[in-house]
Amino acid sequence: MTPHSPISAIATLDDDLRRGMYQFIRRAGRAVTRDEAAEAVGISRKLAAFHLDKLVDAGLLVADLGTPPAVRRAGRRPKTYLPAPGTDLQVSIPPRRHGLLAELLLEAVGTEQQGESPRAAAVRAAREHGERLGADGRRRTRGRIGAERALTLASTVLEENDFEPVRRDAGRVRLRSCPFHPLAAKDTELVCGMNHALLEGLVSGLGTSAVEAVLDPAGGECCVELRARTRPAR
């Protein structure tokens, strides 16, 4: 089944009636019938059915033919609606990875090694995450990975993980914007260090020495750039 787009789901809620019914059903804490949803926003049952079906199509609600005891009647099995489980809509343009940053910090806390500072643990966690991403990308291809191939593969992996890579020229890939903005401004050294470590790990996971991750802050863009090495690393 194709995943529902958060943007499409949010667009579906850009209607006062649908938004009102959705909020009513979320707050009800039980299955809600069409009649109840219609009454909540003051419209006909037929019109409510139209809007409820739109909410189901958007992945915001799930429909069920089961009948709640409160509305059970002989010969009737009214369709009921519940909020879709696990619904958590977030849209950011450009993309931000605040959830990833939180995950990495939690991983750092949970795996901090003896004698390792919290900052070092966070950087390590970011590098290990990048290595996992790189290793996943490496499994998709065979043979030696030169600079061109590595940068193309890295761009694909980054884009699939909701980063925003852009190919400036044949030998460079940047992230168009900081994935951790505006949190990076609160501790630039830590957050940019983690971002750098993540991309270093990505390159390492790809298994190539033809590309390097370089700290190169530029106005309005991410602080890290992937570059083809002018000379292969020894």
* pLDDT tens figures, 34-65: 999 999 999 999 999 999 999 999 889 999 86
- Tokens matching residue 200: 């270093």
Q: Look up residue 134 and give its DSSP letter.
A: H
Going by pLDDT thresholds of 50, 70 and 90, the confidence category of residue 1 is: very low
In 3D, which of 181, 9, 162, 179 has the Cα closest to residue 89?
Answer: 9
> Which is higher by pLDDT, 56 or 218?
56
Residue 70's pLDDT band (cuts 50, 70, 90) = low
Kind and range of the H or E run holding 9:
helix 6-12
Supply the pLDDT for residue 40: 94
Output 107 or 64, whichever has higher pLDDT.
Answer: 107
Identify the CA nearest to 173 among candidates 157, 192, 193.
157
Which two tokens mark 145? 């990975």
Answer yes or no: is pLDDT of 121 > 90: yes
6/211: higher pLDDT: 211
Q: What integer is the mean pLDDT of 90-106?
A: 79
Radius of gyration of the chain (CA): 24
Q: What is the pLDDT of residues 170-210, one digit of tens each?
A: 899 988 888 888 888 889 899 999 999 999 999 999 999 99
Residue 139: CB atoms within 10 A of its CB come to: 9
The answer on pLDDT for 74 being more than 60 is no
| Burial category of 114 from C-beta neighbours within 10 Å (exposed 0-12, middle 13-18, buried 19 and up) | exposed
Three-state secondary-structure class, residue 33: strand
Listed residue (198, 194, 206, 209) closest to 134, CA to CA: 206
**3-state SS class at 217:** coil
The yes-or-no verdict on residue 148 having pLDDT over 60 is yes
Average pLDDT over residues 105-129: 94
Q: What is the mean pLDDT of residues 152-177?
A: 88
Structural fold of domain 6-83: Arc Repressor Mutant, subunit A (1.10.10)
Q: CATH 3.30.1380 in the chain, residues?
A: 98-228
143-158 average pLDDT score: 90
Looking at the chain, the whole-number percentage of residues with pLDDT higher than 90 is 52
SS3 call for 80: strand
Three-class DSSP category at 168: strand
Q: Cα(128)–Cα(98) distance, rounded to whole angstroms?
A: 18
Q: What's the whole-model pTM score? A: 0.67
- The residues of the chain that CATH labels 1.10.10.10 are 6-83
Give me the pLDDT at residue 76, please. 61
81, 32 Cβ separation under 8 angstroms: yes
Which ranges in 13-171 belong to alpha helices (H)?
16-28, 34-41, 45-57, 98-111, 118-138, 147-160
Q: What is the mean pLDDT of residues 12-41?
A: 92
- For the structural domain made of 98-228, what CATH number should be given? 3.30.1380
